[in-house]
Amino acid sequence: MMQEYDHEFAEFIYYTPGYLDKEAQLWPVRGGRSIAKANYKVGPKRIECYSLHLVLEGRVCLEFGDKRVELSKNDLFCLYPGRTYDYYALASDAPLQMNWLAVDGTRVKGLLGLAGITPDRPYGKQMLTSPVKEAAAKTLDKMAGTERWHPAVSLALQGMVCELMALLIPDTEPVHSSEPSRWIRACMDFMDLHATEGITVQQVAAFAGVHRSYFSNVFAAQVGVSPQKYLQNIRMEKAKRLLTETDASVTEIALSLGYPNLYTFTRAFKIYYNMPPLAMRTGAKG
């Protein structure tokens, strides 16, 4: 329930994290809802966590460093720890109304970065979709209804905060849009993880959101080998390790690495290593 203060009507909600919150490296600290009076002004101030402010109505001016930005309905801004901020209401047809959620943990800065919110640009224009506002309100309601810490509450709040962050991250552009080297690295991570499941180059290109030929050309230029060769290298290195370090049968190894049958694996292995699989196993034991 909101109470009246000098420059606003506000509800303040507090949460004390437990060990599960700390292990997840992401947890809420406090939050609230406010309707500003005409003289609303906060700062200069610093905080020790990350405080997301969602502008639901009205207009607000945020000052940080030597910069200032005017924000309005459906914009948001974030106060970063250890930095000085001022923010105050601007004249508007509707009074400034905000929901805010302060979060902490080592994961927060990276997640905000994925949403395009950074210390140098701690705000976003027109980011408050209906799902974002609903997720934030749901998180505040859960915090307000929590009387004491409990593992189930902790896990529920972690999920809610992650859902809110996920909704802020744009998904309208392919992963390669801003920095090609980063999207190629993401593709390599995908291939490292799923190579033994028999994935194809076409599936990796689909993961990147680009045409196969474009993906193959850029991948080869940056990595030095074709994506098909990269997948083969992963499988062959794992095959060698399984042959020399385990007693798994050659058939078991072939199927475990995503090959359709023993013949296909043996042929690929002989071409790659210039010897059949059993010869490598014998040589390792000898």
Q: How far is residue 112's CA from residue 118's CA, in Å, rounded to a whole number?
A: 7
SS3 33: strand
The residue assigned the tokens 């593709």 is: 187
- What's the confidence (pLDDT) of residue 284? 60
Q: What percent of the chain has pLDDT over 70?
A: 95
Q: What percent of the chain has pLDDT over 90?
A: 70
> pLDDT, tens digit, for every residue of 108-127?
988 898 888 999 899 999 99
> pLDDT, tens digit, for every residue of 7-62?
999 999 999 999 999 898 899 999 999 999 999 999 899 999 999 999 999 999 99
> pLDDT, tens digit, for every residue of 153-184?
999 999 999 999 999 987 654 444 444 567 88
Do residues 217 and 157 touch, judged by C-beta distance below 8 A? no
Q: Return the percent helix, strand and coil in the chain, to nearest 5.
A: 45, 20, 30
Do residues 76 and 53 touch, judged by C-beta distance below 8 A? yes
- What's the confidence (pLDDT) of residue 210? 82
Q: What is the reported pTM?
A: 0.63
> pLDDT, tens digit, for every residue of 201-213?
999 998 888 888 9
Q: How far is residue 223's CA from residue 180's CA, in Å, rounded to a whole number?
A: 12
